Amino acid sequence: MKFKSYLFAFLFSIGISHCAIGPTHGLLFTSNSFAGEYNTNNDVEYKKEATGCQKMILGIVSFGDAQAGSVAKANNITRIASIDYSTMSIFTYLYSDFCVIVSGE
């Protein structure tokens, strides 16, 4: 009986823990791209695109850089036209990544 209680608690915690992973999330597999923000003046051309990702393995180790500003700076994007996002996860905690996609000049 104790095992069932622990199993339920574990599965329940997995079920409620995807709030920061994107607009939708699957327990077994997720692969989403979704819109972020854009330059409302519409005066910046889409000449370059750069991606920065954060990765998580086994829910224990997380690493990477998904800051729009640092991704733009590292790729010589001086004016940002849009910032979009993508996520991918396998079995929720086995492996997941969150990426920011920066476009601009």
- Give the per-residue pLDDT at 53: 92
- Give the per-residue pLDDT at 16: 58
Which structural domain, as residue segments, surrounds residue 12?
2-104
Closest CA to 94 of 27, 33, 31, 32: 27
- Give the per-residue pLDDT at 105: 87
CA 15, chain centre distance (Å): 18
58-92 confidence digits (pLDDT tens): 888 889 988 888 898 889 888 888 888 998 888 87
| Overall domain count for the chain | 1
Closest CA to 31 of 83, 84, 90, 102: 90
- Give the per-residue pLDDT at 101: 92
Q: Is the pLDDT of residue 7 over 70?
A: yes
9-65 confidence digits (pLDDT tens): 777 776 655 555 556 677 788 888 888 777 777 788 888 889 999 998 888 888 998
Considering Cα of 99, then 100, then 101, then 105, what sign does the dihedral take? negative
* Strand 61-64 to 48-57 pairing: antiparallel
